[in-house]
Structure 1
Amino acid sequence: MRRTLPLRATPTALLLCLALAGCASRLPAPEAAAAVPTQWAEGAADAAQAPTQLAGWWQRFDDPALGALVEDALRHSPTLQSALAALRQSRALVEVAAAGLAPSLGGNAGAQRTHTQAQGGINSFSLGLTASWEPDLWDGTRAGVRAAEADARAAQLALGNAQVVLAAEVALAYIDLRNAQARLAIAEDNLAAQDDTLQIARWRNQAGLVSSLDVAQAIAAAEQTRASVPQLQTTLAQARHRLTVLSGRAPGELVELGAAPVPLPPDDLVLAFPADTLRQRPDVRRAEAQVQAAWARVAQADAARYPALQLGGSLGLQALTLGSLTSGGSVLRSIMASLSAPLFDGGAIAGNVRAQQAALEQAHAAYRASVLTALQEVEDALVALQGDRARDRSLGAAARAAADADTLARQQYQAGLVDFNTVLQTQRTLLSAQDSAASVRASLATDHVSLYKALGGGWSPEAADPVAPPVAAASPDTVPNAPAAR
């Protein structure tokens, strides 16, 4: 409960408040506890070159269709629209919090008719202004404003993170679509070759040169390949549906893209240092903003332990008729001040402080986890990229050798120099090698997308703000950098 002191005690109480304000403890600023390495374990940053700009990393694939799909999704995705609405909401809440720092002014007008037996009916009219203000002696209101501003920064960074994730999801769906197209073309080409081999086996069987076993084996091989075609067509259709939904449209509305190979960017990516990468990633910066918001709420809860001063006043007119009211009437003035202090509240204030301190610890832990996750994602993408590059070289060579072996085997079988098992084995090897080579190319493209996403590509902290700020305090152009390595 709060006890309100009488007006005569206000001067003494004010002096006491000012003295307490000067010596009241201030909570220490939050410190990040996540160590950042100076170098990547799987790839070194080049200090002599500027890091590659990754705000529009999809342009590095040199694929107009991919670029158009990403840009379209960034304009129409309902996920981004939701994040944008959350940003507007958080900025409006900054206005609400900041309003507590200024005095409030209100107006009132009234009319009353009173009837008594002695005097009969009496009219009374009034018109006035009222004002009130609670000075922020302990920075509790300002701490609330700082918390709301940090929440607004976190919402802005959540929008940036949604852009990063959406661009990567669109690129991954597009790579899946192109990969399905490539594998479908490989399956259809191999099926055509196997049908030709089946026809040759039938001719040789009719001529009595081979048994029906060769024909049965040729049929089995062709039908197995034919069975993979519908599965690949399903994968292709699902990737197209996913692309359409990511852009905020219903499945089936995507314009036909035509056939094209899986795109790959050039291998000239220059990495930033780990600490610089963390400054680029919006999710890490959002976690840091949430730490700052939690710290401000601790300060806000702590300020509730101290006395509060309320100032108020009113100025008005009162008259028996409307004409008298507008001509001056009776002027009524009042001013008041009160001081309230918490004496006993059952531990509610202390409990709230402890709760906010626990929330601050949670925010610290979440920040450290986001830093570690960011570092892991970059390292995982780098090592996957290195491995898939080696696999791509080997599988490409295997596919070329398998194609040569298949051509020779079919020629020799037609000439009666080898048996059908040799042809069957080379055809299976060719299909497997070509399918694996196509898949590893898609994996390479996926590795690049994962790396760009892990590096925080897909948004720009320096880009124009997507929403006009309602107040200056609610729209910081920059957000704090991630803390450097300790």
Structure 2
Amino acid sequence: MKRVLKNTTALLGSVLISACAVGPDFHRPDLPKDVNYQATPLAGTAGNAQSGTGVAQHFQSGVDIPGKWWEVFRNPQLNALVEQALANNQSMKAMQTGLKSAWEQRRIEGAGLYPTISASFNPTRNKTSRVYSPVPNNNTWLYNVHTAQLTIGYVPDLWGGTRRAIEAAGAQAEIQKFQLEATALTLISDLVSATIDEATLRAQIEATHDLIASQTSALKLITARQKFGDASEQDMVAQLASVAQLEATLPSLNLQLAQTRDQLAVLVGVAPNTPLPTFTLEQFTLPQTLPVSLPSDLLNQRPDIRAAQAQIQSASAQIGVAIANRLPNVQLSALPGQAVGTMSDFFKPGYGNWTIAATVMQPIFQGGSLLHAERQARDNLLQANETYKATVLSAIQDVADSLHALDFDADALMANESAYTATGKSLKIAQAQLRLGDVSELMVLQAQQSHAQARLAYVQAQGARFSDSVGLFQSLGGGWWNRNDLGMTPQAQKALGKSLLPW
């Protein structure tokens, strides 16, 4: 028996070593030639301030993205909030559990590389009819049989179908992994953008209140002048409408602020009534240097591109599975055991029994299902390749759009800053002229109104520059490779994602 098992093991080993894996091997598609973010070389944005939102931003090509890129805004409250969100967000936890499930599915497929062993024990009490002869060696009509048996089965992976199935399951797990990274990137970007939106909205509300106050003062002055006949009723009604229009914008701004606060709470993983820190634009620092990855680096950095790559690998491996299903298959089995009349006879010589069998099976006719399954797998591979190309172009467009936004919004901020500065000087001049009696109070109020409107446009432009920086980090992949978003230690990741051991 030992000699038979030894020879069988040697045979199985040689079969495995010589086995091939049918189907195409995965090769990552290359980036199209001469692809770049823009036709002209990268240049820094406009800016002339030494600090604040008016500072010029410079691009460093080919620099790595930090894992905690949000720290470039130098806001400790923001940093703490992002860490809390990564630890508590329910969507993140769900994706982390889904990744573990996908890795377990890979190990389920990997079980096909091992033999299956089952044990059974079957005690029976039997009676032989008197029509038949009594049981030999016993000469009685009643007897016991205790059967202990092992059932050993093994299907050699002759054509690599099992290995292709493992590869496909591993690629599906990779898709889950990069969907998790995309979820983390979206979570962080949305959270940082929400804090910037909150700060911008608070500045807009404050500027609107100031504008309403100046317009209300103008309304009071026009109303008083109208009583003395120095202003027409039409002027008063027009000013009244102007104040009402401004007051009508406040509920919308307050609604956006309240909804932004609710969004922050959900992103952090808490209820909207949970106390959270408040944010103002003064708490943020605009980064003066921004990294810009090379287009070829996006193939490794963008989670959506990596997921599309894994989809190609999965589709490629499924072709091998479909081809292997059409080829001859070998099934090996062994049934060693013992059958005794009494329990005391177990493990005594002479009671053992065994069977070794091999079965060769070749699919002949299944209604064309196997052929069509292979064709379907090949079509899926073509589809995955085209989807990958579209994903790469979309990723390059995202980076290009972010660079354009950084450039043009910097110009817009400078223009709004100039307008804000000019209206401020105009207001000071009008106030000085009022003290000398050269202008009326109405002229001063109009100057205040222009200054408040310029301030409103200026804070919106400030918020846009912060948001553009967030968009660039997001479009470049967010540095997920420099942090751990998977919710488990690197050792656990290796054990689940790489090993095929059955324990």
Once residues 140 and 25 of structure 1 are traced to their aligned partners in structure 2, the CA distance between those partners, rounded to angstroms, is 7
Query: What RMSD, in angstroms, separates the aligned Cα atoms of the two structures?
Result: 3.3
Answering whether residue 91 of structure 2 is matched by residue 94 of structure 1, we say no
Once residues 483 and 77 of structure 2 are traced to their aligned partners in structure 1, the CA distance between those partners, rounded to angstroms, is 26
Deviation at 1:114, TM superposition (A): 2.4
Q: Quick check: 2:200–2:281 contact (8 Å CA) kept in 1? A: no
Answering whether residue 430 of structure 2 is matched by residue 433 of structure 1, we say no
> 1:345-364 alignment to 2 at 5 Å?
345-364=366-385
Percent identical among aligned pairs is 29
Query: SS of the residue aligned with 1:255?
Result: coil
Q: Which residue of 2 aligns with 1:44?
A: 42
CA offsets 1:185-233 (integer angstroms, 9 cap, x no match):
1111222333344444455566776566665454443333233222221
Q: Which residue of 1 aligns with 2:364?
A: 343
| Alignment-mate amino acid for residue 369 of structure 1 | A
Query: SS of the residue aligned with 2:358?
Result: strand
Correspondence for 2:497 among 475, 479, 486:
475
Q: Quick check: 1:262–1:441 contact (8 Å CA) kept in 2? A: no
Judged with a 3 Å threshold, the aligned counterparts in structure 2 of structure 1 residues 260 and 465 are, in CA distance, closer, same or farther, namely closer
Q: Which residue of 2 aligns with 1:271?
A: 292
> 1:54-93 alignment to 2 at 5 Å?
54-93=66-105
Once residues 61 and 452 of structure 1 are traced to their aligned partners in structure 2, the CA distance between those partners, rounded to angstroms, is 12
Answering whether residue 138 of structure 2 is matched by residue 126 of structure 1, we say no
Once residues 415 and 69 of structure 2 are traced to their aligned partners in structure 1, the CA distance between those partners, rounded to angstroms, is 28
Answering whether residue 237 of structure 2 is matched by residue 239 of structure 1, we say no
Q: Quick check: 1:88–1:467 contact (8 Å CA) kept in 2? A: no
Once residues 488 and 277 of structure 2 are traced to their aligned partners in structure 1, the CA distance between those partners, rounded to angstroms, is 34
| Alignment-mate amino acid for residue 363 of structure 1 | A
Q: Which residue of 1 aligns with 2:186?
A: 165
Q: Quick check: 2:21–2:160 contact (8 Å CA) kept in 1? A: no
Query: SS of the residue aligned with 1:167?
Result: helix
Once residues 165 and 107 of structure 2 are traced to their aligned partners in structure 1, the CA distance between those partners, rounded to angstroms, is 11
Once residues 332 and 461 of structure 1 are traced to their aligned partners in structure 2, the CA distance between those partners, rounded to angstroms, is 60
Q: Which residue of 1 aligns with 2:391?
A: 370
Answering whether residue 44 of structure 2 is matched by residue 32 of structure 1, we say no
> 1:129-140 alignment to 2 at 5 Å?
129-140=150-161
Runs of 5+ unmatched residues, structure 1: 1-10, 478-486
Judged with a 3 Å threshold, the aligned counterparts in structure 2 of structure 1 residues 205 and 410 are, in CA distance, closer, same or farther, namely farther
Runs of 5+ unmatched residues, structure 2: 1-7, 44-57, 131-139
> 1:381-392 alignment to 2 at 5 Å?
381-392=402-413
State the aligned residue count: 462
Once residues 262 and 399 of structure 1 are traced to their aligned partners in structure 2, the CA distance between those partners, rounded to angstroms, is 21
Once residues 464 and 384 of structure 1 are traced to their aligned partners in structure 2, the CA distance between those partners, rounded to angstroms, is 29
Deviation at 1:286, TM superposition (A): 1.6
Answering whether residue 115 of structure 2 is matched by residue 103 of structure 1, we say yes
Once residues 108 and 175 of structure 1 are traced to their aligned partners in structure 2, the CA distance between those partners, rounded to angstroms, is 67
| Alignment-mate amino acid for residue 475 of structure 1 | G
Once residues 280 and 22 of structure 2 are traced to their aligned partners in structure 1, the CA distance between those partners, rounded to angstroms, is 68
> 1:272-421 alignment to 2 at 5 Å?
272-325=293-346, 330-409=351-430, 417-418=438-439
Deviation at 1:370, TM superposition (A): 1.2
Which runs of at least 4 in structure 1 moved beyond 6 Å after TM superposition? 21-25, 45-49, 413-416
Q: Quick check: 1:54–1:452 contact (8 Å CA) kept in 2? A: no
Deviation at 1:94, TM superposition (A): 1.2
Q: Quick check: 2:59–2:291 contact (8 Å CA) kept in 1? A: no
| Alignment-mate amino acid for residue 80 of structure 2 | A
Greater alpha carbon shift after TM alignment, 388-397 vs 309-318: 309-318
Once residues 132 and 147 of structure 1 are traced to their aligned partners in structure 2, the CA distance between those partners, rounded to angstroms, is 24
Q: Which residue of 2 aligns with 1:252?
A: 273
Once residues 110 and 250 of structure 1 are traced to their aligned partners in structure 2, the CA distance between those partners, rounded to angstroms, is 59
Deviation at 1:461, TM superposition (A): 5.4
Deviation at 1:85, TM superposition (A): 1.2
Greater alpha carbon shift after TM alignment, 423-432 vs 77-86: 423-432
Q: Quick check: 2:77–2:277 contact (8 Å CA) kept in 1? A: no
> 1:177-196 alignment to 2 at 5 Å?
177-196=198-217
Judged with a 3 Å threshold, the aligned counterparts in structure 2 of structure 1 residues 300 and 452 are, in CA distance, closer, same or farther, namely same
Once residues 117 and 184 of structure 1 are traced to their aligned partners in structure 2, the CA distance between those partners, rounded to angstroms, is 100
Deviation at 1:385, TM superposition (A): 0.9
Q: Quick check: 2:196–2:279 contact (8 Å CA) kept in 1? A: no
Judged with a 3 Å threshold, the aligned counterparts in structure 2 of structure 1 residues 194 and 251 are, in CA distance, closer, same or farther, namely same
Q: Quick check: 1:134–1:309 contact (8 Å CA) kept in 2? A: yes
Deviation at 1:139, TM superposition (A): 0.7
Once residues 456 and 336 of structure 1 are traced to their aligned partners in structure 2, the CA distance between those partners, rounded to angstroms, is 55
Once residues 139 and 164 of structure 1 are traced to their aligned partners in structure 2, the CA distance between those partners, rounded to angstroms, is 37
TM-score by length of 2: 0.82
TM-score by length of 1: 0.85
Q: Which residue of 2 aligns with 1:115?
A: 127
